[in-house]
Structures are given as structure tokens and as C-alpha cells.
Chain A
Amino acid sequence: MADRIKQFFVQIGDLSYFAAHFFREAFKRPFEFKELLRQCYQMGNRSLVLVGVTGFIIGLVLTLQSRPTLIQFGAVSWMPNMVGISIVREIGPVITALICAGRIASGIGAELGSMRVTEQIDAMEVSGTNPFKYLVVTRMLATTLMLPLLVVFGDLVALYGSALVENLKGDVSFQLYFNTVFDALEFGDLVPATIKSFFFGFTIGLVGCFKGYYSDKGTAGVGYAANTAVVVSSLLLFVVDFIAVFVSDIFYEL
């Protein structure tokens, strides 16, 4: 038991070291710009459909589920406000991040894990390319930069899904719906959510790269790396979310 607790703290320490290493390397030349673009494409564009479908269904279901209650209270006209705020502030970023943790963190974990196992990382280092820079920094930057965009995209699709339900069931025009949503939203909703998304992206990249980069020898290690990358990053996302809510509370008295 004591060993497990120790292991936990060792992991946290290693992860922090890894993050520090990232910041040391990220701002040092040479920049692997081409690889960054490639990774951005892999993580951004390739996740679009997944995020879009998830967002659409979430918006749809959230609206369908809360309609009866709001009707009971006679507050069904507040639906755009409620759904809009909850999606932009919390559900959009968290769902998108979780989806990406499943897709991206496991992908990175498996990819880097197998590269480590087949000595590709060593080969890279020997051929004069810093593998940390080439593999880790680009991926972490890519997730950090792409996730906010995915979140915005996911939010929009989710709101569209919600508007669709309101339009069909409640005869609310799209214009009225989005007008109401943007009336209800404030910078205090959008800004913390966007900043939070950057941290979500960073967390996903960090855990995925960490687990893959230091994966143990052997193919079993690759599977383990991919698996733990998803579990740890999902868990860490909620911790980050928790912290983010507290911090944004300070800046925006909500």
C-alpha cells in the first residue's frame, strides 16, 4: 500500500518534470514547424467528425431531457439560456476534452509507446533530431492549440442540435434561439471556458506523451501506455476542470 502511494507521488513528480521539460524545449530553436502542422491536422481535423457528432447529440439530448422540467416551471423560453450557458461553460469543453482524451491521448500513447519499443525514438536521437522536440513538443503543442478550436466547433454543433429541437418542438426560430443564447452569454462564460480548453488540451497531450514516451519495453507496454494515457488524462481533466472553476471564480465573480 505504502509502495502504491509512493508510486503515485513518483508518477506525479515525473509528470511535472515532463511538463517542465516541455516548457524548456518548446521555446528553444529549432522549431519542428512542419511536424507541428502535421500533428495539428491529425488531432484537429481528424477529430472534427467525432467532436461534431458528439456535440450534436449532447445538445439534442440535453434539450430533450430538460424540456419537460422547464415546461413544468413554465420556463421553456429560458431553454436557450440554460442550454447555451451550460454548453459553453462546462459541457462543451468537458465532453470535447473527454472525447479527445479517448482519441488523442490513447493515440499518442500507443504511437510513442511503439516508437519507444521499436527504438525509433533512439534512432531519431542518433540521427541528430531531438525526439522530445520532434515528437513530444509538437504533439503537446498541437493538442493545446487544437482543443480550444474543437471546443468552439463542438459548442456550435451542440447549440445547433439544441436549436433544432427547440425549432421542431417549440417553434423557436434559429435566429431567436441564437439571439437568446448570445444575450445570455457573457465574456465571463466564454473566456474562462476557452482558457480552460487550452489547459485541457495541454493535459491530454502531456499525459499521452508521458505515458508513451516512457513506455516500458515490449508490446504489452504499448497497450498499457495507451490505456493508462486515457484513464489518467480523463481523470486529470476533471481535476483541471475543478481547479479552473475555482480560478475563474476569482476573476469573474459568478
Chain B
Amino acid sequence: MAKTALENLKLGIFVVLGTALLLFAAYLIGNRQNMFGKTFPLSASFKNANGLQTGNNVRFSGINVGTVSKIEMINDTTIMVHMIIEENMLEQIKKDAIVTIGSDGLVGSMLVNIVPGKGDVPYVKPGDELESYSRIATQDMLSTLNVTNENAALLTSDLLKVTQSLIRGKGTLGRLLNDTLMASDLQHTIANLKQTSMQANTAISELNQMIESVDFEKSAAGVLLSDSLSAEKLRNIILNLENSSIQIDKMTQDLNAVVGDVKDGKGAFNYLATDTLFVKRLDETLQHIEQGTERFNENMEALKHNFLTRGYFRKLERQKKKDEKQMQQQSQ
């Protein structure tokens, strides 16, 4: 009998201990889900529950203070999340606290965060509905990141293409960048142009001086003009002058074309803009050309009014009229 009593005692200890263990484990688990202890309800409405489940933790300033007790679909855009919070939090959470749904780490489960407000407002009462803020969840963040990534990928591929074509020397910019020879050619051309225009300038000023000297020394000019040989010479000079003016005209046109080309190439413009020296030279050249042309014009006007050449111009005019007459007769 004594043995049985001892056995029963041991059995009793085992059963009590085992049951206590089981209950303790259940209590510990339940405690994490706030099944015991005093709690109070709070709620918040969201547009998107982001995979929140009942039983997920509720954190207030990063401390677990409760769990999600119920997720209710009010309508297709409103989801009411009910929470149970430890009762001692009644004196911590204020009415302007904001509720967000977040996740515990990148791969962690979802949770509800209650972020304390800044205002001086009264504490929440059981059953209150707090304001919610649908913060971008990891998921959204990732999807946004995805779009950004795609864009970046597109951009990079385009950039790659551009770089590749640049290397291969396609397009004006490419040519400019790569073809150093051409760039120096252009520079040469423009330098030549400048030289030419300068020479033309000197030539015209010399001519000007000569004509002025003709004007000043009337006797000499008279001798010269009465002399048919001299006249012949003068005519030649004027002819040459005309030729050179035509050439200048042509050159100006060419220059124009070059400048136009330069303007057309977007990259080239950039290049030209950076090369200030070159631009300056080009400017100078153009100024010279302008000056030269102006003076040439003046010379021509002076020539017209000069009595020596008046006859020649009249003759030219008559010839022109005659030609016109002939043209009219022919057409009649």
C-alpha cells in the first residue's frame, strides 16, 4: 500500500508539472497575443491592408503593445483594422497618434505601427478610431524601385548607344570629336579666308590711294586719260577690280556656307562655342570682309562720279538701254 501511495505521489507530481508546463507554454504564447491581461480596443481604417493578418503585432514607438484582433472590410476602399492594446498604454497614446502599416524588416511579417503625434491633445479612450497614414510599404517601395530601375536601364542602354556611335564617329559631334584633321582644316580655311580678305582690303585701299592720287594730280591724270594707252590700262585695272570683287563675293558665299554648316551641326556649335579663339578670328574675318566690301562700294561710287569714268558708265547705260530696246523689239 505504501508503495502505491508513493507511486501516486510521483504520478501526481508528474501530472501537475506536465500540465503546468503545458499551461505555462500556452500562457507565454497567449501573452504574446494579448489573450490575457487587461486590454482595450482601438481601430484605424486603411485603404490597403498590405497583407496584415489578425495576430500581427501592434507597436507604439517601437514597443510591442498589442495585436491585431480583427480586420474588417467596410467597403472596397476602406478596411477597418481593430487592435487590442495593453491597458497601461491608455496613458501613453494620444488622440493625434497616427497608425501605419509596416513590416518587420525586409522579410519580416507585417505589423501595425502607432506613431505618437506632436500635439498637446488628450489621451485615447477605449474604442477610439485613430488617424491612419498609408505609408509606402516595402512592397510599394520595391515596385517603385523597379520602375526606376527599368528607366535607369533604358537610359543606360541609350547612353551606351550614343557613346558607341560617338566612338565610331557618327554624327557631326562625333566627327568633330574624332576628326581632328577636319577641325584643323576648318581652322586653316578660315585663316586663309582671313588672309585673303585682308589682302583684298589692302588691294582696295591701294586702289583707293591711287584713285585719290589721280584726283589730286589733275595734269597727270589728264595726260593719263588722254593717252588711250593709259585709258586702256585703267580699263584693265577696273576689269581686274571687278574680277576680284566677284571672287570676294564668291568667297563670302563659301564662307556663308561654312558658317551655315557649322550652325547646322549641333555638336559643332558646341565645339565652336568652346573654342573662343577660333570664334574671335572668325568674327574678325567677317568684320574685315565687311569693311573691305564697304570700301569697295565706296570706291565704285567714287568711280561713277569721276568724270574720267563718267563716259564709260554712260556708254554702259546706253548699251543697256539699247539692249532693253532690242529685247522689247524682239519680244514685240
Asked whether A40 lies within 8 Å of B29 as measured between CB atoms, the reply is no
Residues from chain B with a CB closer than 8 A to the CB of A44 are: 11, 14-15, 18
Measured between alpha carbons, how far is A114 from B4 in the docked complex, in Å? 23
Inter-subunit contact A187/B29 (CB<8 Å): yes
Nearest chain B CB to A28 CB, angstrom units? 24
Q: Which residues of A contact B148 (CB under 8 A)?
A: none
Closest-by-CB residue of A relative to B13 is A45
Interface residues of B in 225-266 (CB under 8 A from A): none
Contacts A38-B7, A183-B32; A153 near B21 (Cβ below 8 A): yes
Q: Does B11 lie within 8 Å of A41, measured CB to CB? A: yes
> What is the CA–CA distance of A148 and B19 in the complex, to the nearest angstrom?
9
Most chain-A Cβ atoms within 10 A of its Cβ — which of B10, B15, B26, B30?
A: B15
User: In the complex the two chains form, what is the Cα distance from A150 to B15 in whole Å?
Assistant: 9
> Size range of the interface on A?
20 to 34
Min CB distance A105 to B, Å, is 20
* CB <8 Å contact, A37 and B14: no
CB proximity of B260 to chain A, nearest CB, Å: 66
B210: interface (CB < 8 Å): no
Distance (Å) between the CB of A30 and the closest chain B CB?
Answer: 19
Asked if residues B11 and A37 are in contact (CB atoms below 8 Å), the reply is: yes
> Which residue in chain A gives the minimum CB-CB distance to B28?
A182
Give CA–CA (A149, B13) in the complex, Å: 12
Shortest Cβ gap from B276 to chain A (Å) = 59
Q: Is A37's CB under 8 angstroms from B8's CB?
A: yes
A41 in contact with B29 given A149-B14, A156-B21 (CB within 8 Å) = no
What DSSP secondary structure best describes chain B's contact surface?
helix
Is A182 touching B32 in the complex (CB atoms < 8 A)?
Answer: yes
Q: Mark B8-43, 1 if CB is under 8 A from A, else 0.
A: 101100110111011001101110110000000000
Number of A-B contacts (CB under 8 A): 57
Inter-subunit contact B25/A187 (CB<8 Å): no
Q: Please tell me if the beta carbons of A186 and B18 are within 8 angstroms of each other in the complex.
A: no
Chain A residue with minimal CB distance to B9?
Answer: A41
- Checking B7, B26, B55 against A190 with a beta-carbon cut-off of 8 angstroms, the contacting residue is B26
How far is A148 from B21 in the complex, measured between Cα atoms in Å? 11
Separation of A40 and B14 alpha carbons in the complex (Å): 10
Known: A40-B15, A41-B7, A45-B14. A152 touches B29 (CB 8 A): no
Contact digits for A147-171, partner B, Cβ 8 Å, 1 yes 0 no: 0111011001000000000000000
Min CB distance B26 to A, Å, is 6
A149 to B32, CA, bound (A): 23
- In angstroms, Cα B4 to Cα A148, docked, is 23
* Contact (Cβ within 8 A) A190 B25: yes
**Distance between B53 CB and nearest chain A CB, rounded to angstroms:** 10
Task: Give the chain B neighbours of A38 by CB distance below 8 A.
Answer: 4, 7
When C-beta atoms are compared, the residue in chain A nearest to B64 turns out to be A183
Which residues of chain A in 186-227 are interfacial with respect to chain B, using CB atoms and an 8 Å cutoff?
Answer: 186-187, 189-190, 194
Partner among A40, A48, A153, A187 whose Cβ is within 8 Å of the Cβ of B33? A187
* A185/B29 contact (C-beta < 8 A), A38-B7, A41-B8, A153-B21 known: yes
Enumerate A26-45 residues with CB–CB distance to B below 8 Å: 34, 37-38, 40-41, 44-45
Beyond A152-B18, A152-B22, whether A45 also contacts B30 by CB under 8 A is: no
Which residues of B approach A to under 8 Å, CB–CB?
4, 7-8, 10-11, 14-15, 17-19, 21-22, 25-26, 28-30, 32-33, 55
26 contacts between A and B (CB under 8 A): A34-B4, A37-B11, A40-B11, A41-B8, A44-B14, A44-B18, A45-B10, A149-B14, A149-B18, A149-B19, A150-B18, A152-B18, A152-B22, A152-B25, A153-B18, A182-B25, A182-B29, A182-B32, A183-B32, A185-B25, A186-B29, A186-B55, A187-B26, A190-B25, A190-B29, A194-B22
